[in-house]
Amino acid sequence: MSMTLSQVYRKAEALLKEKGVPDADVDSLCLLEHFFGADRTKLILHGDTAADEELCEKLFSAVHRRITGVPLQYIIGIWNFMGYDFIVGEGVLIPRDDTEIAAQEACEFAVSIECPKIIDLCSGSGAIAITVAKANVNSEVTALEYSENALKYLKKNIELNNADNVVPFAGDVTKCADSFNNGYFDLIVSNPPYIRSEQIDTLQRELQYEPRMALDGGKDGLFFYRIITELWYKKLKSGGKLVYEVGEDQCDDVCEILKRYGFDNISYRMDLHGYKRTVSGIMYY
């Protein structure tokens, strides 16, 4: 017996709720829109429309994957970040709202310079690099990423968003700083791995599907802040800016790291939940 769009939505929501999946209503609507092109308005106005049986099978297969903990973003295969779509899947970190704070700060700095040279370290899907590049089409943005899997998504997203001023660079952030001249960049931005190693296995199960190397920030979560600051600060021009996304309790520690290497105008920005989400500083010589 065929189902209507409303019935498909309600059944999907019920299955997810029954298994304790958070935000079951939101996930169900996202899956309905992905498979049937039916957003909330269409569901309200045309909910009694018969649902294609083949698409129903695909949707409920996706529901069962979601119940096992597979992130919704991986199931859909594409996710929006600051108005741009990004292809995502196993092997690449999912762009999140928290990262918009760092991207916004980077964009503001980028548009203040005529032809800025920018590097996004630990670029992943390219969410920050591409967003900043689109904010200033005269910018030259290098997107550095070590993971081969993530690099594949990065390159796809550069093409998807027609971000011709973004150049992908395959490299280990802890080893390849010498590939760039000192005083070359106006802006360095990074959302590095910052979760404490011992906490990785305690994270919600959705995060267990994401690449560990994109999450693990070492014993105290600060490994990459220390080594990036040490190896890369000289790559900034005088007056250049470094912007980090940081974990909820890491602001003070990262501020101290920047002070140690001579950064001035060190500041932070809050996210929508009231956490200090970015730390930035200016380098003067």
**198 falls within a domain:** yes
- Percent share of the chain, pLDDT over 90: 88
Predicted pLDDT at 1: 57
Chain segment 186-245, per-residue pLDDT in tens: 999 999 999 999 988 888 888 888 888 898 889 999 999 999 999 999 999 999 999 999
Cα distances from 12 to residues 38, 62, 89, in angstroms, run 14, 10, 22
- Domain membership of residue 86 (yes or no) is no
Res. 80 pLDDT band, cuts 50 70 90: very high
Q: Which CATH number covers residue 225?
A: 3.40.50.150
Specify the pLDDT at position 279: 98
Q: What pLDDT band is residue 283 in, cutting at 50, 70 and 90?
A: very high
**Average pLDDT over all residues of the chain:** 95
Average pLDDT, integer, range 232-259: 97
Please determine, for residue 88, whether its predicted confidence score (pLDDT) is greater than 90: yes
In 10 A of CB 262, how many CB atoms? 11
E strand or H helix at 133:
helix 127-135
| pLDDT score recorded for residue 231 | 98
Residue 10 clears pLDDT 80, i.e. is over it: yes
Whether 201 maps to a domain, the answer reads yes
pTM as predicted? 0.93
pLDDT category at 59 given cuts 50, 70, 90 is very high
Residue-range definition of the domain harbouring residue 98: 93-283
State how far Cα 264 lies from the chain centre: 27
In this structure, the answer to whether residues 184 and 49 fall within a common structural domain is no
Averaged over 33-40, what is the pLDDT? 93
Residues 203 and 238 in one domain: yes
> What's the average model confidence in pLDDT over 56-61?
97
> Is the same domain home to 131 and 237?
yes
Three-point CA angle 193, 197, 199, nearest 5°: 105
* Assigned domain for 166 exists: yes
Distance of alpha carbon 23 from alpha carbon 71, whole angstroms: 12
> Which residue bears the tokens 């005083």?
183
Predicted pLDDT of residue 105: 98
Residues 27 and 134 in one domain: no
Q: Domain check: are 51 and 125 in the same one?
A: no
Token digits of residue 228: 């990036």
Q: State how many domains the chain has.
A: 2
Q: What is the pLDDT of residues 173-189, one digit of tens each?
A: 999 999 999 999 999 99
81 within a domain of the structure (yes/no): no
176 and 139 co-located in one domain: yes
User: Is the same domain home to 61 and 104?
Assistant: no
Q: Judge if 59 and 114 occupy the same domain.
A: no
Q: Do 58 and 102 lie in a common domain?
A: no
